[in-house]
């Protein structure tokens, strides 16, 4: 008889990632990583991989023998990585900057 699957551990408090895993029917638990997102990396692809790995490793150290999913999202526009908004006014400023312009998520 097969053992029941242990829930995946999501190293993020992101509502979007929770919704995606629920939609896929994946059992999971949330354990936020609480790692600093500060980085000198200027390449968006490298940055997002580095952040996801750091988050997963931080949670895996606290939860050995557990499958941990680390993920992150980075937005880049005109060669610049945009930071997460600090408040609603900052979010509006960022959205105005992105409006009508090519950007990568």
Helix (H) or strand (E) holding 9: strand 8-10
CA distance 11 to 94: 26
Residue-wise pLDDT tens for the chain (105 aa)?
Answer: 566 667 899 998 899 999 999 999 999 999 999 899 899 999 999 999 999 999 999 999 999 889 999 999 999 999 899 998 999 999 999 999 999 999 999
Rounded to two decimals, the pTM is 0.82
CA distance 24 to 15: 14
Going from the N-terminus, what domains does the chain have, and what CATH number goes with each? 1-73 (3.90.950.10), 75-105 (no CATH)
Name the residues annotated as catalytic: 72
CA distance 69 to 48: 14
Q: Are 66 and 9 in contact (CB under 8 A)?
A: yes
């Amino acid at each position: 008889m097969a053992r029941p699957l242990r829930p995946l551990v999501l190293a993020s408090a992101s509502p979007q990632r929770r919704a995606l895993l629920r939609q896929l029917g994946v059992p999971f638990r949330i354990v936020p990583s609480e790692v600093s997102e500060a980085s000198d990396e200027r390449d968006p692809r490298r940055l997002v991989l580095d952040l996801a790995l750091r988050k997963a490793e931080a949670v895996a150290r606290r939860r050995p023998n557990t499958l941990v999913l680390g993920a992150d999202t980075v937005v880049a526009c005109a060669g610049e990585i945009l930071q997460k908004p600090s408040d609603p006014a900052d979010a509006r400023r960022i959205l105005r900057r992105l409006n009508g312009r090519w950007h990568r998520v």
